A and B are shown apart, each in its own frame.
Chain A
Amino acid sequence: MKVSDNNIIDFKVKNFKKFKHFEMDNLGQFNLIVGDNNVGKTSVLEALLVKTNSNLFIEGLLHSLEIGRNIDVESNQNIISKFYVNISDSDIINSEISFSFNTIEQFKEIKIICNQNANLSKFVISINHQNPNIVESYVSKNNIGGNLMPNLIFSSNIYSSFSARTFSDKIYRYASKKDKLIKTLKILLPNITDLYPDKFETSSQTIYARQKDIDKAIPMQLIGEGSVKLLNYLIFMQFFSDQDRIMLDEVDNGIHYSKMKDFWKILLKSSVDNQIQLFMTTHSKECINYYKEALSELGEEFQNEARIISLNELPDKSVKAFNYNYERFSNELELGNEIRGGY
């Protein structure tokens, strides 16, 4: 199996959200993050939004505040302070958040340093420890572009019109891509015969589905949450194809248990086809068990790339990531041992 040279192998973050210091290593193509409530699973996904393009990075972070956390960015003055750990607004000047990671090819470190005006931040970007590049960027509501979609997808924004626009623009116009998407979707929805957008390209809001023996096409949202979720994930994968990674919060929400194994198989195969590293969260033991079952059917190449990252809070309130490879998490699950932390 070919994995992208952009895949993150290890990742460290300092002073971000609840993490004074947090690290994960030995990451794979598929990384399922588990842990107790409030241990920081979604914060890890937010940290993984890190990019050397400071505007895209800020946009992703602000999007996560607005969509994932329901924080009104416009009414908050010191927006960037929301991303600092245990630092009051008055103390954040010149304090820094840092993200560092190794891919197969490169080491990258990105620091955010808050200036006097808490919304004006300096970005220090180092690649392979050489030539720190300093970029200043103003953090505001204007950083959120209307048409761009961060690569972190929350369960709550799965019905976004972004997927309809992307479908119309990047998939519908290409017969082979559309046919492949429908063929994949048929695994969960065998009666689907066709998909088309309500309008073309950027003005599209809805994807319509035609089904066998039913005359009238209906919006995908009406077919069911799990099906829409899978369709949207497949569209996102297509959109982010060959770009770094995609983060899926509460990946299994809305998926019925009887479809969960096929859901996993489709998702993991799509991740490989599109060369996208996956980081996902779940609370569900059922979801973890089907992840294992899907991998046992997909074979050794997939298993070698699968991880479960268990986040655990230590007595000093720091968070430690335990990494389980396929062999290890299969063993623990078969024995009935708990690997989701919180015990």
Chain B
Amino acid sequence: MKVHFFVEGDADKSFMMALFPQLPPESIDILNGKDFNDKNILRIKEMFVLGKKVCLFIDADKDYDSRLEYYTDKKAEIGDYNLFLMPDNSNNGNLESIYEAIAKNTSFWTCFETYNNCIESLNYKRTLPKSKVYAYIEALRDNENSKDLFNKTNFPKLINQHFDLNHEYLKPLKDFVNSHISQ
């Protein structure tokens, strides 16, 4: 049975393509956020009509339990999709939590923490988890990679280069995906 994957955004798709290069890009759809709407519900239902298995990857963020409850309840309306809550299907967190855990140069995070604290001290309430990953890659990049760093072709290569894709932290995610694509 073929599998179709749904992720929240571009960054998630790039990460999945880096981690699972065997997946065809067209088998990964972007939901554009974590909320269901008429359009993405219809798209998921179409995948069921095609006889595909559907896997959904959503950030658990700050409340794993409520996120799990919401997406489990929605199955009654949409169909029996398989859910993986990032980062590890058991804890709060998101894609950025994965990046932080598997970075090859963890000392960078200290620099970014200082920068983030400074931003917050200026009363900008925002935290910058996504910028953190981009800044990490930007800081470590080779000169020759200066153009279009985060496009669909380069980003997965840079993820491969600067993150440990064999890290133990990725085991739950890899096990989940592999269990579905091998069936």
Contact = CB atoms under 8 A, between A and B. Distances in A.
Interface in A45-92: none
The secondary structure that dominates the B interface is helix
A335 B13 CA distance: 11
Contact of A322 (B4, B24, B46, B152): B46
Given A314-B49, A331-B39, A337-B43, A343 B24 contact: yes
Interface stretch (B26-34, B111-119, B126-134, B165-173): B26-34
Contacts of B32: 331, 335
A292 to B, nearest CB: 15
A297 to B, nearest CB: 22
Interface residues of B, number: 18
Contacts of B51: 314-315
Given A328-B39, A332-B43, A337 B49 contact: no
Interface of A: 312, 314-315, 320, 322, 327-328, 331-332, 335-338, 342-343
Given A314-B51, A315-B51, 19 more contacts: A312-B46, A312-B50, A314-B50, A322-B49, A328-B39, A328-B42, A331-B39, A332-B43, A335-B30, A335-B32, A336-B10, A337-B29, A337-B43, A338-B26, A338-B29, A342-B26, A343-B4, A343-B24, A343-B26
Contacts, number: 36
Interface string B69-97: 00000000000000000000000000000
28 contacts: A312-B50, A314-B49, A314-B50, A314-B51, A315-B50, A315-B51, A320-B49, A320-B50, A322-B46, A322-B49, A328-B42, A331-B32, A331-B39, A332-B39, A332-B43, A335-B30, A336-B13, A336-B152, A337-B29, A337-B30, A337-B43, A338-B25, A338-B26, A342-B26, A343-B4, A343-B24, A343-B26, A343-B27
